[in-house]
Chain A
Amino acid sequence: MTKWGIVADLGRCVGCQTCTTACRHANATPPGVQYRKVLDMEVGTFPDVRRVFVPVGCMHCDEPPCRDVCPTTATTKRADGMVMIDYDICIGCGYCIVACPYQARYKVSKPTFAFKDQETQNERTRFDERLLGVAQKCTFCVDRVDYGLANGLTPGVAPEATPACVNACLSKALTFGDTEDPDSNVSKLLKRYKSFRMHEELGTGPNIHYLWETEDQ
């Protein structure tokens, strides 16, 4: 079986937000909607203070609460682990938004653009009316992954088959791959270094893993 996931190396992430920008470009998300964003955390108290950058987004959970509450079956989980939304079925009740402990879902009711009424060429090209009034979130760039698989490429290795945020990461903090494949790029990272998952105590089984100690001991 395949289970797509992302490994985020917290020691490498420099908080440049290039992944955020790449995601916004790839999905033409409206203002306020960030499928991928990087949190800027200031941890500790003076003089022992450190700054940590944490990429977050939809965790494509093993047991997604958003799917469990969805009254329309618009939210589903694919066999490869990706949590998807059928925009043609969703009624925009917002239940999935309050069910997600990662604040990864959004609902936008009317078209809004980065420069108010002036839509950019990219926004015009990628505007999708189906997304108005319904829930939306990160798809792990499912179109790129499916395209890659259909053309014999390995998602996470071939850029054409890899989510835009991962491709754009300039410090190689983000890695995408199949966490069920022991020989995949992400499995090797998870095997070698220490990692945790956010809010794991809630039992959602999130599929973004955070590396926090990558120096070989």
Chain B
Amino acid sequence: MSEEFEDAPGMRHLGLAPWLQTAWDMRAAGNFMGGGTGTGLLIFTSLGAFGGIHSPILILAGLALVGLGLFSVFLEIGRPLRALNVLLGGKRSWMTREAMVAGVLFPLGLATLFYPDLAKLMWIPASAYLYCQARILEAAKGIPTWRSPLILPLTMASGLAEGIGVLLMLAPFALENGAPDWLAGALVAAIAARIFVWMTYRRRMVGGEAPVEAAAVLIRFSMPFTLSGNVIPLALLVGAGLLPEIHSAALAAAGLAVVAGGWALKITIVTKAAQNQGFAINHSPARGAGESGPGFKPGWREGAKKE
């Protein structure tokens, strides 16, 4: 090895330490972005239906986002003509279950255009879809930042926050009286949940549950995400409450920031902080009459606790 690379851990452990997975790229991230935001929007539109709110625009927007997410991941598969085979693995695979729930979500969503009362049922398949998406990531055992149990609440909290965000953006156009008052409170709760789970998730990943390189990505992402995707929207919500003249604009801006933060979170986790497990040995072998030696786990924090 060239001397100039001798001290570079990345070179010394090339092919041994965890490296960034390339099987899922932005197209896969697009599924989590569209699916999370779309189902979040459908859930809160459905809840709004109990208060007499009905908007075909919101339903169609939610379905369109979910559909775009599915189309995005469709572009990634190697054999698109066999796409329907995705329905075969319901016994074990959360990806199949997601596809099956989509088979309920879309017909029901379209039916609400003709039977508005059905919107009160939309939260059920939408929540199931969001849950499936979170479990898809959690089941990917090869990627330490995905298999964390905290990915489930993180993905769900972000999806809900993003859904409210889009609702706040579309409310001036879709709802006669604008966004209902309770929506801002729901957004505060969703943001609080998202940031709480994020902090816990980040701490655990940095604490040794993720490879060093993945943890570094999360550390770099944390401050911009916390401020732009969570603190600023909260400030905008406060502004919307205090200044009636900018009420609608501030709510929409808060919604936009929340959605942008959520999408950035998913892009980061799916395509940037997605280092694989790498390789490790528990012991070095004894050769001949020599003694055995310690194990080796390149790319991970030394002394990181085993899962």
Contacts and interface: CB of A to CB of B under 8 A. Distances in A.
A213 interface: yes
Contacts of B285: 9-11, 52, 211-214
Contacts of A11: 285-288
A88 B194 CA distance: 41
A91 interface: yes
Contact of B16 (A39, A70, A212, A213): A39
Given A43-B281, A92-B79, A212-B292, 16 more contacts: A10-B284, A44-B294, A69-B93, A71-B86, A72-B96, A90-B85, A91-B80, A93-B95, A94-B23, A94-B76, A101-B276, A102-B279, A198-B280, A212-B281, A212-B284, A212-B285
Interface in A63-101: 65, 67-74, 89-95, 97-101
B111 interface: no
Interface in B119-140: 136, 139-140
Interface stretch (B141-149, B198-206, B220-228, B232-240): B141-149
A214 B290 CA distance: 11
Contacts of B279: 39, 41, 54, 56, 102-103, 198
Contacts of B139: 65, 68-69, 99
Given A65-B141, A68-B92, A68-B93, A92 B78 contact: yes
Interface string B271-284: 00010111111111
A109 interface: yes
Nearest to B94: A69
Interface in B52-80: 73, 76-80
Interface in B257-307: 274, 276-289, 292-294, 296, 298, 306-307
A215 interface: yes
A204 interface: yes
Contact of A202 (B86, B87, B141, B284): B141
Interface in B62-118: 73, 76-80, 82-83, 85-89, 91-96, 99
B93 A103 contact: no
A139 to B, nearest CB: 19
A204 B24 CA distance: 22
A200 B283 CA distance: 13
B293 A43 contact: yes
Interface in A159-216: 194, 196, 198-202, 204, 210-215
Interface in A82-135: 89-95, 97-103, 107, 109, 132-134
Contact of A212 (B94, B96, B286, B307): B286
Interface of A: 9-11, 39, 41-44, 48, 50, 52, 54, 56, 65, 67-74, 89-95, 97-103, 107, 109, 132-134, 194, 196, 198-202, 204, 210-215
A75 to B, nearest CB: 9
Contact of A109 (B78, B87, B293): B78
Contact of A65 (B78, B80, B142, B281): B142
A91 B78 contact: yes
A196 B284 CA distance: 11
A71 B88 contact: yes
Nearest to B87: A71
Nearest to B1: A42
Contacts of B136: 69, 95
B15 interface: yes
A103 B22 CA distance: 11
Contacts of B307: 201-202
Contacts of B23: 94, 97-98, 107
A130 to B, nearest CB: 10
Contacts of B28: 94
B281 A198 contact: yes
A98 B24 contact: yes
B296 A52 contact: yes
